[in-house]
Amino acid sequence: MSAIIKTEFMKIRRYQILLIGMLAMLCSPLLQFFSQMMVIDSAKNPNFDFAALLDDTIWGNTQIFMPVTLTLIGGYLISREYTDDTLKNILTVPVSFRKLLAGKTAAIGLLAVLLSVYNVAVTAVVAVCASLPGITPFILLKGMLQMTGLALCIYIVVLPIIIFCSRSASLFMGGSVVAFLTGYSVLFFKDGLLRDLYPFSAAFTIIGYDTSSRAGTSGKGSIPLAVLSLGIMLSLTALLLYRAKVPEEAHKPQSEKLETAGNGRKKPSRSSGRGRRRI
């Protein structure tokens, strides 16, 4: 397993998808900062400081950036095994498809933690450049712990989407759309049992994030129900991983894939030169 994880990180370093993930984590605090600067005076937070920027970034990460980024990177890593025609070669060595998926998803989990640390760092840089007050070691440590916990929770929530989309090379883009829609929908689960059990709301509850000012919630969520929600997502991931089978697409040679993709093209006729009269 460790060899697979190490190999995946070596691959990630060569792919531009890592740059996309880093840009997404940079855009998150920038978007929150400029949103605060552009709103009308009556809607601005008069006490907007580093802690407020961190809170806004956590909210934006949960709604949009982390679900989409992790699903996109995870799906892309699996999709490259199809497009590069390497999956059928990997399966000839003693590595099962399930073990390969488990190694890739474990690498995505470690990458989620690294991206969360990077996100807090760039948020602090934005705060320094904007001369925001309240940059203290305590706030920085609290933000680091919350962001790391959030990244792990969001990773658990999107794992079933990543595993399900591993069935084909082209499914991960649709999976990213699903991750975006489900993440954005956290705004609509404000109170009651649905709020406690909805996985993205459960992530807020586990890291101790106050959603009252953004989603209009009243009171704190139930931690046992939040843990149960994420436990269900892990169980669903384990079930999908257990039932994962080698796709038929992996057994096709690259020439056959290219021939299938080009079936609609007009092929030159072999008899085009026959029947010509010699002069």
pTM: 0.83
Mean pLDDT, 10 residues at a time, the chain of 279 residues: 80 84 94 85 80 93 94 88 67 72 91 96 95 92 95 96 86 92 89 87 92 75 93 95 73 50 48 46
How many whole angstroms separate alpha carbon 250 and alpha carbon 88?
A: 6
- Full 3-state SS string of 194-218: HHHHCHHHHHHHHHCCCCHHHHCCC
Cβ atoms < 10 Å from Cβ of 249: 15
pLDDT for residue 271: 46
pLDDT for the residue 269: 46
Rounded to whole angstroms, how far apart are CA atoms 41 and 214?
18
**Half-sphere exposure (CA, 13 Å, Cβ side) for 112?**
30
pLDDT given at position 219: 72
What are φ and ψ of residue 265, in 5° steps? -80, 145
All structural domains of the chain with their residue ranges: 2-185
How many C-alpha atoms does 154 have within 13 Å on its Cβ side? 35
Q: What is the pLDDT of residue 250?
A: 53
CA distance from start to end of the chain: 71
Distance CA 204, CA 263 (A): 49
Specify the pLDDT at position 9: 82
Separation CA 197–CA 55 (nearest Å): 22
